[in-house]
Amino acid sequence: MDLAGSELLEIRMDNPGNAVHRVVFLNTSQLAGMVLPEKIRLELKLGSSVELLRDMIAQLRFAAEEKPAADLDRVLLANGDELFGRATDKTIRLATEFCAEPMSISTGNVRALELSPTHIARAAVQMWDGTVLRGELSPAALTFAVAGGPTLRLHAGEVLGLLRTDAVPPEDLVQKVDKLVAQLGAESHEDREAAMKELEALKGAIVPLLKKHLSSTDPEVRHRVKQLIEKLGEGEKPAGPDGPPGMFGGAAVIPGG
């Protein structure tokens, strides 16, 4: 693969004699591999150039400092590499023992995914609301676009986990909540109470969807939404920088692998 020097922080020749090299991107993504040219030409500021044997180089530095981006998806690979960018598959297919056919999960609704270190393709998928689904990835691979770098097709055996930053609820749920919240301002007391009961039945996962309605122009809606939020609690907390349990350290999401 070709990499642009403008997107790189450095290339470390971890083991020059055996051509084991590690590329570090400005966003702190890391990829291990081999730099192919046996000779590397450097243009000097003095105007001349020099050609060096690859095995004589310990490190190539392209920028003064890294520029990590907090809003990127994160993948941890089995070899210790860490990638930042975007998961590009529109859906994740998960085969479970409860469904005859693999279920199709919108990647946009996924907060995190952890793969078993001992059973290839065995996965735990954490949804936007904290729900965890377990099964086998089908196909057993993920596509990931490294920010400022290549798009990679990663086999399940190469991946430990994926942590996403912008998991969202399904659109049909968003529309349902919006419709029921609007009904909280209905003229009929029975309609308002019916909407309250339906929203309560959806439980704490909808709290983030309710909060935007705290600024409603209808005082009845604002009052009832506030009541719902207080009753349902704060809902599921978003995953922290280390992800859900088992993701990038901690207790395993998949018991026993």
For residue range 16-28, what is the model confidence (pLDDT) as tens digits? 555 578 888 888 8
Residue 89's domain spans which residues? Answer: 73-163
pLDDT at 59 exceeding the cut of 60: yes
- 245 lies in some domain: no
Q: Provide, rounded to the nearest whole percent, the portion of the chain with pLDDT above 90.
A: 44
Contact yes or no for 124/114 (Cβ under 8 A): yes
- 257 lies in some domain: no
With tokens 């690979």, the residue in question is: 77
- Residue 235, pLDDT score: 47
70: three-class secondary structure by DSSP = coil
81 and 146 part of one domain: yes
Average pLDDT over residues 116-125: 89
Distance, in Å, from the CA atom of 187 to the CA atom of 183, rounded to the nearest integer, reads 9
Q: Which residue has the higher pLDDT, 90 or 250?
A: 90
- 36 lies in some domain: yes
39 and 86 part of one domain: no
Strand partners, 133: 125
Tokens of 256: 């026993």
Alpha helix stretches (DSSP H) within the chain: 171-183, 189-201, 207-211, 219-232
- 252 lies in some domain: no
Burial class for 244, CB neighbours closer than 10 Å (0-12, 13-18, 19+): buried
- Residue 38, pLDDT score: 82
- 66 lies in some domain: no
- 101 lies in some domain: yes
Q: Which of 7-16, 37-46, 95-104, 179-188 has the highest mean pLDDT?
A: 179-188
pLDDT at 242 exceeding the cut of 70: no
Enumerate residues 6+ apart whose C-beta is below 8 A from 111.
126, 127, 128, 130, 163, 164, 167, 238, 239, 244
- Residue 74, pLDDT score: 93
Enumerate residues 6+ apart whose C-beta is below 8 A from 87.
73, 75, 107, 110, 142, 143, 144, 162, 164
Amino acid at 230: E
Q: Which of 18-22, 86-90, 96-100, 178-182 has the lowest mean pLDDT?
A: 18-22
How far are the Cα atoms of 85, 184, 197, 209 from residue 43, in angstroms, in the given order?
A: 31, 69, 71, 55
208 and 186 part of one domain: yes
Contact yes or no for 110/164 (Cβ under 8 A): yes
Digit-coded pLDDT (tens) for 218-239: 999 999 999 999 998 754 444 4
- Residue 234, pLDDT score: 56
Domain end position, chosen among 143, 163, 183: 163
pLDDT at 80 exceeding the cut of 90: no
Report the length, in residues, of the chain: 257
- 249 lies in some domain: no
pLDDT at 173 exceeding the cut of 50: yes
- Residue 122, pLDDT score: 92
